[in-house]
Amino acid sequence: YHNDLFYLTGIRLAPKEKLDIPVLFMPDTMKMHEAVVVIHVMRENGENWLYEDSAELNKDFKSVIVAKNGGIQGILWIYPVHGIPEAPQQKLVPAVVRCQARQRVERRVKVLLTDVVPGANAMPAARNSAMFNTNKPANIQEVQVTDGFSTTVEFLYELQYQSNEIKSQLEALVGIHLIQRDRDTESGIVTLIFNIVFAPNKPMRNEATLVVQCFTGGVWKFPVLFIATQPEVDDVINIEAVGLNKESIVGFKLTSQTR
């Protein structure tokens, strides 16, 4: 993951044989690195592949090397690789958001981001890459943090859940919004304070992960625990006995919350 070029030559492949290419990534900063793995295949006997329309091949077509005398001299497979560093997993105590079912609570959660690389060095490719795996981009929030030297640090953040089932349960019950951000110019530590809204409709206990990613590529993860306790009793229904072996009836109305 440096600007150096590494070549592996002389690898023979039989038809339909597989080739494993190990890629090692050892980041020393919270910044995304980019590399390209290029597979250049040529025939072992040095001959070209015959192609009837070789003259019509676009010279700018990067995946094919056209020989001067016609035909295809080599074929390239180009695989771009993005190395995204993730902060070391620490045994963090989950931020607990507790609320009684059918009630609403707001809880502020503060997170610290260490080793943040200033946004001035961010690579444009980081903005265009799929940094979060989600089907609903609206759940991803973009924030900017500016320090005293007017260096902008841009972030994305979202809540990720352990399964799609938990996500479907909590997604409509949980809201998250950044309300305060600060950057220490000496230590480089960025402090983000989030306001989390939790409005559960039934008792539950589910875990989530607050994922924050910088546009320079670094990823930080923080555990969050959502607990919904038993709701208050709606009403007490008293049925008065009218006699032995006789039915007593009391009527009450139930209102459906949906169609």
**pLDDT at residue 129 above 70?**
no
The per-residue pLDDT for range 5-34, each reduced to its tens digit, is 565 677 888 888 888 888 889 988 888 888
**pLDDT at residue 210 above 60?**
yes
- Burial (CB < 10 A; 0-12, 13-18, 19+), residue 123, is middle
Residue 170 belongs to domain with CATH number? 2.60.40.2310
Q: Which domain holds residue 226?
A: 86-118+153-232
Together in a domain, 181 and 58:
no
pLDDT of residue 5: 56
Q: How would you classify the pairing of strands 95-100 and 105-113?
A: unpaired
- Beta strands, E only, the chain: 33-41, 64-66, 72-83, 95-100, 105-113, 141-146, 152-161, 174-183, 190-198, 204-214, 219-229
- Burial (CB < 10 A; 0-12, 13-18, 19+), residue 36, is exposed
Together in a domain, 100 and 10:
no
pLDDT average, residue stretch 143-150: 45
pLDDT band at 189; cut points 50, 70, 90:
confident
- Rounded CA Rg of the chain: 29
pLDDT of residue 122: 44
pTM over 0.75: no
The per-residue pLDDT for range 52-74, each reduced to its tens digit, is 665 566 555 668 877 777 778 88
Together in a domain, 58 and 114:
no
Together in a domain, 59 and 114:
no
Residue 228 near residue 101, CB atoms below 8 Å: yes
Among 84, 99, 126, identify where a domain stops. 84
Instruction: Mark out the alpha helices in the chain (DSSP H runs).
Output: 124-128, 164-170
Query: Is pLDDT larger for residue 205 or for residue 137?
Result: 205
